[in-house]
Amino acid sequence: MHDDDFVDDESSKNKLFSRGASIYYLGSMIFIAGIALIILGSALIMFFRLSYTSELQEILLTIIPIALGIILILLGINLMMKQSRKGYAILTLSIIAVAISMFLFLRFYENNWYYPQIGYVFGLYVSGFLLLLGNTFAGSILYIIKSNKPVYSPTEDKEPVHLYTDDEIQKDIEEATRKSAEAAVAELQFNDVQELPSDIIGVHISETPKNITRVKDRIAEVRSLGQTLSPGMTEKWGSVGIDKASDALAKTLEPVKTKKKGFFQRIKEKYFSDNTKKDTKKDKKVKSKEKKTKKNK
């Protein structure tokens, strides 16, 4: 993509504003003038009640403002939009074509208004009109494309400038050194691990009494550490663990039910149960003892 397409840097922004300040207002003035002329032409059509029998002057006074108004509207729109060099060339060409056609129209309409003069006038006007219309269309399409494109701003992509302190630099160096040392150490292979120095003649370790401590400990931490480090290892989701958890939850949520005893059950418990008999016997004994003690007192 060409650099000119970017609406980014400060200088191009300034250029755009300086161009817009003069041509944008000129374009808008021309646009308004075009509208005014069309309004004027339309008003005159109504005023003169234009028809086949209308006078020559009346036709000229109505047609010229409308034809000129249409061209001025298109020219104004074009000037309000950003134009390339080619665009300005097209505008100039179309203005020239329309101006010639208008001049010829004024010249021929009174006395020589027949073919091929009509063809020249109409051809020049239409070509000028189409050039302007085409340029307006191209300009608006380009504008739409540019407005949809994300505005590129190189300042946004730039990371904020961070000034590193001596401590941070030192830390970075230490970190890099540590990493390189770690890598070097990882590659180290000691080939004499099995050997003892040659000056050692003998090692006496066999009957050495060791300092041994025996502690009763089932180290239940092994299971919990395993579960903490890799929770999915022992009980998979949807397996025993979830069943246990859901059972526990169900039990917790279940309200405590107290079954009402039936009539026969109550009678059975009251009169035929061994426990109740024993209890009643005990109660009677206790009561009789209490009575005796009261009497003694």
Partner 1 sequence: MAKGLDIGTMNIICAEKDREDIVFTQQRNAFMELDSSDLTKTMLDISKVLYIERKDGISLLGEDAFKFATIFEKEARRPMTHGIISPKEKEAIPIMKLIVGEVLGQPKKQNEVLYISTPANPIDTDLNVLYHKKTMEMLTKGMKYDTHVIDEGLAVIYSELAESNFTGIGISVGAGMTNVTLAYLATPLMSFSIARGGDWIDEQAARSTGMPKEHVTATKEKISKLGKDVKMGSVEGALTVYYDALMTYVIKNLNRKLAEITPPNVAFPVAIAGGSATPAGFFELFEKRLREANLRVDLAKIKHVKDPLLSVARGCLIAARTQEEKGRQLQKQQTQTTTQTQTKQTTKKKK
Question: Which residues would be at the binding site for partner 1 (CB under 8 A)?
Answer: 178, 181-182, 185-186, 188-190, 193-194, 196-197, 199-205, 207-226, 228-230, 233-234
What one-letter code names the amino acid at 35?
A: I
Task: State the minimum distance, in angstroms, from the CB of residue 196 to partner 1.
Answer: 6
Taking the least distance from each CB to partner 1, the nearer of 116 and 197 is 197
Taking the least distance from each CB to partner 1, the nearer of 161 and 185 is 185
Taking the least distance from each CB to partner 1, the nearer of 161 and 222 is 222
Q: Is the dihedral of CA 163, 164, 165, 166 positive or negative?
A: negative
Q: Is the dihedral of CA 219, 223, 227, 229 positive or negative?
A: positive
- Tell me if 66 sits within 8 A of 43, measured CB to CB: no
C-alpha 48 chain-centroid distance:
61
Task: State the minimum distance, in angstroms, from the CB of residue 216 to partner 1.
Answer: 6
Taking the least distance from each CB to partner 1, the nearer of 161 and 205 is 205
Taking the least distance from each CB to partner 1, the nearer of 225 and 242 is 225
3-state DSSP assignment of residue 129: helix
Q: How many residues does the chain have?
A: 297
The secondary structure of 145-192 as a DSSP string is: HHHHSPPP-HHHHSPPP-PPPHHHHHHHHHHHHHHHHHHHHHH---TT
Task: State the minimum distance, in angstroms, from the CB of residue 175 to partner 1.
Answer: 11
Task: State the minimum distance, in angstroms, from the CB of residue 223 to partner 1.
Answer: 8
Task: State the minimum distance, in angstroms, from the CB of residue 218 to partner 1.
Answer: 6
